[in-house]
Structure 1
Amino acid sequence: MNGEHYAVVCVECGTRSADDGLITSCRGCADASLLRTDYRAAALPVSAGASGIFRYREWLPVAREIPGSSLPSVHRCQNLGAALGLTDLWVAFNGYWPERGSHLVSGTFKELEAFTVLARTPEDAGVMVVASAGNTAASFALAADQVDLPCVLVVPDRALPDLGVIDALHGIGRRVRIVAVKGGTYNDAIAYSQGLLAADPVFFPEGGVRNVARRDGLAVVMLAGYEAMGRLPDYYVQAVGSGTGAVAAHEASRRIAAQPGGGSVPRMLLCQNSEFAPLHRLWRHWEATGGAVAAGPGDGGAAGQRGTAGQEDVHAPELVNAAPPFAVRGGVRDILADSAGDVLVADGAAARAAGALFEETEGIDIEPAAAVAVACLREAVAAGRVPRDARVLLNITGGGRRRTRELAGRHGPEPDAWLVGTAGEPAATAAMVLDSLAL
């Protein structure tokens, strides 16, 4: 079992259990509900001597510490705030910006979840399968170098250059294997990973939003924000695909708000590409029908804009998820309703302009998804949906990659990978993976 400093609890029925490091659902409620962690420490604990994310170890579901993690940089953004018309804007920068104290070599906040998930998972669990648009894979490739757990990363082939940067700067874990879907989307990577999981019982899924370590690792953004600001923000703004990071931030806010003097949970403003916005459609449908949910397989439903049409014609492909966890108990719908939140959208032109504005005012490049969030916030302030004197925490989910590519000396050399087609045979790939791992 993992440490005795927490238990896992079903959001729907309240069933509590010890954590074996792998559990992702309640036996009774199954996929209808998420699990959450319940920590013994009632107030936010800070381990000043610990490195990286393990500064908050007592609010992380981990069995051990893994060296090499980094925290986001949280700072007041006066220049960007003035440009947006905000007097109290704070940014949680997740990326490579050493001058600000952020050393996430992957250039993304997914690094927070990778270290937490690997610190929770038993090393004899089998072979972890991680489906990713690219950011999560880059983070696991980096973090897995510190553990002896074999991992298979399944990505669209366009993600290979950024994995190559990790290989050039840090080295990819010796027990990491990469499967790249030629011309594929994130959803193609998900589908292929499911084929690997079905091919041999030694493979097990990383778990996505259902993995409490993934969510609590991403929640470090809110913990660091609270520590830096001294209180919770009035608004929290983040670009989302599945919405896992936003669910994590809300859960952390609830924990903080429950402690003496913790304050109120912030309004959650989630941001998507206007061209492909399943969560926006689902939320608007839920509002318009007075709470009816059009949910189907994978929790996306008819209103979830399922399918692959238009998925690549967006500014931030990493935000494309055709089946987000909207209606599941404890999922996106619940956190939006609980926080009086909303889902906003921005098109590519607005996002490009917002990305340029951030670099002009703050002096660092940001990833396309983060630019979508800046664009949505800009439009929300202009429309009067966010008060100009509100304290806003903007999660810049990725940035500084221009620096890491320069340090690597090239724009991402491609690492060793198995290239497969969307109609390829996962069982054959699974056999090659296991043979290469000598399993």
Structure 2
Amino acid sequence: MSRHYLMKCVECGSVYEDDGFLLDCPVPHRPSLLRAQYVERRFSPGPSSGLFRYGSWLPAVRCDPVPAAGFTYRAERLGRELGLGELWVAYSGYWPERGGLLETCTFKELQASTVLARLPERSPTLVVASAGNTGLAFMRACSQRRVPLVLVVPDSALPVLARPVPQAECVRLVTVAGDYGDAIDLARVIADRPGFQAEGGARNVAHRDGLGTALLAAAEAIGRLPDYYVQAVGSGAGAIGAYEAAGRLLVAGFPAARTGSRRGGPRMLLCQNRCFAPMFDAWRSGAATAAAKDGPAERAAIARAAAPELTTRTPPYAVRGGVRDVLRESGGHFATADSTETAAAQNLFRTIEGVDIEAPAGVALACLRQAAAQGHIARDATVLLHVTGGGRLRYAADHRLYPAQPTVRARGLSHESVADIVTAPFPTTVCASAREPS
């Protein structure tokens, strides 16, 4: 299948043709991400208004006309409250009056649509682990396109997975009694079975480049790259995607940031829960890895987190091209916010802007509020705050939602037993090609 891009290893520079599944460089060396190298070097958005407006910079073999996107606006009132004269918000959520039409209410919808668009017509069953929002995005996308999916989530994520249509037969939902890390562990076992394929998280170029379209759209709206990019991170895939998208814009000759990094892109301000912040801790201490232990103290901290979506235990921090490299190269840094600060930030946004935002976006706004108050960001700097999720309360008020129905509750079952159950053959009637809509 002819593709309009190649895959290049950040570490060794080896270049490969993509088959839709490649996640790692086969050359032996330290862990490294792959990046998509697109034939089109110019920034040439298409005529559509959705995600695939940026199809020439997406690793997709098809452009689905359905996926929507968020929108970007200058937040003057919020900026005045924070003491920032040039604050912009990239809103990835549901806010139909302003053009926010992401039905899953988060930017994970951009990721899921792009990952499916990268797959060849006949593909193995996709396996995804999620703390909630990513799972909802893949449930929606795979149900619409009749792509078989095994989704593994913690029990606590079930309320997030409620949808306006009943769960499709091509989706098998597994719940675990623990946290997001436990879901990841079980998903690995399932993905190792023949005929099943791990989505790959941050290692998947479609995952990152889909999320990175939020930065492309924002830069278009602003007219140049912002001086600062602010986002809450769990794995950091969205931040890596934004950084890579900014790099492509600079190569294309797009106007650089005025006071951003030396390379001309935005400085990255990345944000985590204060009670569980493995990447913040690693950045501050200079540690070689950000992997968190799996012990009672760590689990208690995860349980206290205002934003459980940000509690990845093994993020792609020290991998070549990962979060640490992004921060070093952009001149950025980490910040944290506690539950009280996060709730106050969510309330502030809703009061000023009139719509609810998700807890991760509250963490990001709280950290931006701190940085502005402490003078770490100049008052006249152009700041882009990525609200990675919002409008869930509004969406629930506008739609009747059906609760998610687990196929298997993994409590008390071994990983192998669960894998035996969920890897049984899917009905042939639901195993249509990724091209076929519902």
Report the TM-score, using the length of structure 1 for normalisation: 0.92
Q: CA deviation at 1:367?
A: 0.3
Q: CA deviation at 1:159?
A: 1.5
Give 1:400's aligned amino acid. Answer: G
Q: 1:125 to 1:307 in 2, by over 3 A?
A: farther
Q: In 2, Cα distance between the equivalents of 1:396 and 1:170? A: 26
Corresponding residue number in structure 2 for 1:82: 80
**1:321-362 per-position Cα deviation (integer Å, ceiling 9, x unaligned):** 111111110000100000000010011111100000000010
Corresponding residue number in structure 2 for 1:25: 24
Residue of 135, 138, 142 corresponding to 1:137: 135
SS in 1 for 2:423: helix
Q: In 2, Cα distance between the equivalents of 1:378 and 1:99? A: 26
Q: 1:192 to 1:303 in 2, by over 3 A?
A: closer
**1:211-258 per-position Cα deviation (integer Å, ceiling 9, x unaligned):** 000000000111000111110000000000011100000000111111
Give 1:281's aligned amino acid. Answer: D
Residue of 325, 329, 352 corresponding to 2:316: 325
Corresponding residue number in structure 2 for 1:366: 357
**1:261-311 per-position Cα deviation (integer Å, ceiling 9, x unaligned):** 43110000000000000010111122xxxxxx433xxx6267999953411
Q: In 2, Cα distance between the equivalents of 1:81 and 1:355? A: 15
Q: In 2, Cα distance between the equivalents of 1:19 and 1:123? A: 14
Corresponding residue number in structure 2 for 1:356: 347
Q: In 1, Cα distance between the equivalents of 2:180 and 2:311? A: 7
**1:159-179 per-position Cα deviation (integer Å, ceiling 9, x unaligned):** 112212x2xx24444311111
1:367-386 paired onto structure 2 within 5 Å: 367-386=358-377
Q: CA deviation at 1:427?
A: 2.8
1:227-242 paired onto structure 2 within 5 Å: 227-242=220-235
**What count of residue pairs does the alignment treat as equivalent?**
421
- Asked whether 1:256 is paired with 2:279, we answer no
Please say if residues 52 and 65 of structure 2, whose CA atoms lie closer than 8 Å, have aligned partners that are also in contact. no
Q: Which runs of 5+ in 2 are unaligned?
A: 257-263, 429-438
Please say if residues 150 and 175 of structure 1, whose CA atoms lie closer than 8 Å, have aligned partners that are also in contact. yes
Q: Percent identity?
A: 46
Q: In 1, Cα distance between the equivalents of 2:122 and 2:61? A: 13
Please say if residues 174 and 406 of structure 2, whose CA atoms lie closer than 8 Å, have aligned partners that are also in contact. no
Corresponding residue number in structure 1 for 2:284: 284
Corresponding residue number in structure 2 for 1:210: 203
Q: CA deviation at 1:102?
A: 1.1
Q: 1:283 to 1:71 in 2, by over 3 A?
A: same
Q: Pick which of 15-24 and 170-179 moved more.
A: 170-179
Please say if residues 306 and 322 of structure 1, whose CA atoms lie closer than 8 Å, have aligned partners that are also in contact. no
Report the TM-score, using the length of structure 2 for normalisation: 0.92
- Runs of 4+ displaced beyond 3 Å: 170-174, 301-307
Q: Which runs of 5+ in 1 are unaligned?
A: 287-292
Q: In 1, Cα distance between the equivalents of 2:274 and 2:369? A: 15
Please say if residues 190 and 423 of structure 2, whose CA atoms lie closer than 8 Å, have aligned partners that are also in contact. no
- Asked whether 1:175 is paired with 2:174, we answer no
Q: Pick which of 100-109 and 24-33 moved more.
A: 24-33
Corresponding residue number in structure 1 for 2:268: 268
Give the superposed CA RMSD: 2.0
1:294-305 paired onto structure 2 within 5 Å: 294-295=288-289, 300=291
Q: CA deviation at 1:53?
A: 0.6
Give 1:193's aligned amino acid. Answer: A
SS in 2 for 1:435: coil
- Asked whether 1:341 is paired with 2:332, we answer yes
